[in-house]
Amino acid sequence: MSERKVSKETTLPEKLAVESVYNREEIQASATSFGERPEVVAGALYLLEGDMFTRRQVESAIKKFKTREVK
């Protein structure tokens, strides 16, 4: 990635990465792309608020769901 110099100490990246967002139905339909069963993804999505999520948000929710304490 090319960088543009602003001053001697600071450089800025030319392009910023933009993450795609997906709705709950799209995420549920592609549960295997996260390496999980649909039941695990459904449980993880239950913990999230909203309707649109990035892949990073879903992966984080899956990790929290799988490591949470069972009561």
Residue 29 forms part of a structural domain: yes
Residue among 57, 27, 54, 51 nearest 41 (CA): 27
pLDDT at 10: 60
Mean pLDDT, 10 residues at a time, the chain of 71 residues: 56 73 96 96 95 96 94 84
Residue 61 forms part of a structural domain: yes
Residue 4 forms part of a structural domain: no
Provide the number of structural domains found in the chain.
Answer: 1
Residue with tokens 């892949």: 55
In whole angstroms, give the CA distance from residue 71 to residue 31: 25
Residue 2 forms part of a structural domain: no
Amino acid at 40: V
Residue 13 forms part of a structural domain: no
pTM of the predicted structure, to 2 decimals: 0.72
Assess contact for 41 and 28: CB atoms under 8 A: yes
pLDDT at 2: 55
pLDDT at 18: 85
Q: Is 61 exposed, middle or buried (0-12, 13-18, 19+ CB in 10 A)?
A: buried
Domain that holds residue 56: 18-67
